Chains A and B, each alone.
Chain A
Amino acid sequence: MAGDTTVVRFGKNGFKKLFFFAVFLVCFGAVSAFPFVFHTTTMWYKLGVDRVLLLSGQLAGCYAAFFLLLQFVLISRFKPLVSAFGIGSLAKTHRLNGKVVTFLAVAHVLLILLPEGLENLPIGVKYWPEMVGVLLLLVIFIVMLVFYLKKTITYPVFKWVHRVLAILAFGLVLIHVLNVSDAFAGISVRVTVGIYALVCAAIFVLGKLDGRKVS
């Protein structure tokens, strides 16, 4: 009927969802803009297709790091998140996001290496931040492998291995990101990355503490 208006009613959870989505979108937007705003000096020497590949690789890397840390939020069982989205939905997103992180990490490595040739690998002590990245990729692969082998091992073993590797990945991604590129050399960028990591870690710890109180 003409003149009718549709009224969208947000319940308490609706506002919570909207809030979390808004926070996510702001963070996602910032991560998306990062390689375009903070150019690395390596970008100066890349032209044409090489430039597109390198920029795409940097973007994939930024997303991979962002989503990797987000994994801790998704699996935290943090009360406000659980009440907004439900535990099943968060766990499902955590599993999907794990696959996305793996894909992005592989894409990051390939796209970064392609412009200077896959035979010209950064191996050696002077490339230690890149080597940390390789170790991180290995950890991500093992996490995925353990996930797919979940049915063949007991749940406590899976949980223990998954947690240890996840915490290792958390540390490695920070070391890699903060040292691999001059784009992350600025104090404001380092502080921002640090705050994001701290928030993710804090939500994870708070969620786990809440879980313990309930049980």
Chain B
Amino acid sequence: MKKLSFFIFVSFLFISAQFAYAGARVWEIDKAHTNFYFSIDHIFAKVHGYFGEYSGEFAFDPDNLAESKVVFNIAVKSIDTAIGQRDKHLLSADFFDESKYPELTFVSNTITKTGENSFDVSGKFTVKGKEYDLVLPLVYAGVKDHPMEKGKEVIGFNGNITIDRLAYGVGSGKFYEYGVVGKDVDILVTIEALSKK
């Protein structure tokens, strides 16, 4: 009898937890089409790259922004600028110091609607072990039935932001002073996520 009571109690807790989170619709990030691209000046040219490995959570409901949430943990080691030796240099203590700080994380606190299809995602951005406040502006691309996946919907967002890498401790500024590597990094966050209808 005791065992049965315990089982009912645990089941109740589990079901309650599901309902508590059910406020915002949970979306499964489509890793093949969600990416973190960046570009930075190199003397006159632009160098493009991206981070290919990450994990994350995405709960979004335009009618329930209070319980919507965005979390990304990006593996610094996955940086790719198409030249291995440059990537290795970016992983060194001159820039990301990947061996000490292997992840970049972003955890949203609040999501606010700023226009018909635009949202500001405010949160904590952790770079090299330090937390910074960051507002990521995302443009809502829409939601529709996934063309290739029956029974699922797909949601999309795109966001552009420019950050000063030196303000985040990515580099000491010596290459910027030499006029070689810029300090402003243009970031494009592009998100596709799926959910059962």
Residue pair A42, B84 in contact (C-beta under 8 Å): no
Residue pair B92, A120 in contact (C-beta under 8 Å): yes
Residues of the B chain whose Cβ atoms lie less than 8 Å from the Cβ of A41: 85
Residue pair B99, A119 in contact (C-beta under 8 Å): yes
Is B89 on the interface with A (CB-CB < 8 A)?
yes
**Which residue from chain B places its CB closest to the CB of A40 in the assembled complex?**
B85
Residues of the B chain whose Cβ atoms lie less than 8 Å from the Cβ of A124: 84
Closest CB pairs A-B (n = 9): A119-B99, A116-B92, A126-B84, A127-B84, A120-B92, A120-B91, A42-B85, A122-B88, A117-B92
Between A47, A116, A122, A124, the greatest number of chain B beta carbons within 10 A of the residue's beta carbon is seen for: A116
- Beyond A47-B174, A122-B84, whether A116 also contacts B99 by CB under 8 A is no
Contact bitstring B89-120, A, C-beta under 8 A = 1, else 0? 10111100011000000000000000000000
Residue pair B99, A127 in contact (C-beta under 8 Å): no
- B97 → A minimal CB distance (Å): 8
- B19 → A minimal CB distance (Å): 44
Residue pair B94, A120 in contact (C-beta under 8 Å): no
Alpha-carbon separation in the docked complex, A50 to B91 (Å): 16
Residue pair A116, B174 in contact (C-beta under 8 Å): no
Is A44 on the interface with B (CB-CB < 8 A)?
yes
- B1 → A minimal CB distance (Å): 58
Number of chain A residues whose Cβ lies closer than 8 Å to a Cβ of chain B: 15
Is A45 on the interface with B (CB-CB < 8 A)?
yes
- A30 → B minimal CB distance (Å): 24
**Which residue from chain B places its CB closest to the CB of A116 in the assembled complex?**
B92
Alpha-carbon separation in the docked complex, A116 to B99 (Å): 11
Between B88, B91, B93, B175, the greatest number of chain A beta carbons within 10 A of the residue's beta carbon is seen for: B88
Residues of the A chain whose Cβ atoms lie less than 8 Å from the Cβ of B184: none
- A36 → B minimal CB distance (Å): 19
Question: For this complex, into which size category does the number of interface residues on chain B fall?
Answer: 10 to 19
Besides A42-B89, A116-B88, A120-B99, 6 other A-B contacts (C-beta < 8 A): A45-B94, A45-B175, A116-B89, A117-B93, A117-B99, A122-B84
**Which residue from chain A places its CB closest to the CB of B80 in the assembled complex?**
A126
Alpha-carbon separation in the docked complex, A117 to B94 (Å): 10
Residues of the A chain whose Cβ atoms lie less than 8 Å from the Cβ of B88: 116, 120, 122, 127
Is B87 on the interface with A (CB-CB < 8 A)?
yes
Residues of the B chain whose Cβ atoms lie less than 8 Å from the Cβ of A116: 88-89, 91-94
Alpha-carbon separation in the docked complex, A124 to B89 (Å): 15
A-B contact pairs, 21 of them (CB 8 A): A41-B85, A42-B85, A42-B89, A45-B89, A45-B94, A45-B175, A47-B174, A115-B92, A116-B93, A117-B92, A117-B99, A119-B99, A120-B88, A120-B92, A122-B84, A122-B85, A122-B88, A126-B80, A126-B87, A127-B88, A130-B84
Alpha-carbon separation in the docked complex, A44 to B174 (Å): 12
Within 8 A of B (CB), among A120-146: 120, 122, 124, 126-127, 130
**Which residue from chain A places its CB closest to the CB of B88 in the assembled complex?**
A122
Residues of the A chain whose Cβ atoms lie less than 8 Å from the Cβ of B94: 45, 116
Contact bitstring B70-89, A, C-beta under 8 A = 1, else 0? 00000000001000110111
Alpha-carbon separation in the docked complex, A120 to B146 (Å): 41
Is B180 on the interface with A (CB-CB < 8 A)?
yes
Alpha-carbon separation in the docked complex, A42 to B85 (Å): 7
Residues of the B chain whose Cβ atoms lie less than 8 Å from the Cβ of A42: 85, 89
Residues of the A chain whose Cβ atoms lie less than 8 Å from the Cβ of B174: 47
- B91 → A minimal CB distance (Å): 5
Residues of the A chain whose Cβ atoms lie less than 8 Å from the Cβ of B91: 116, 120
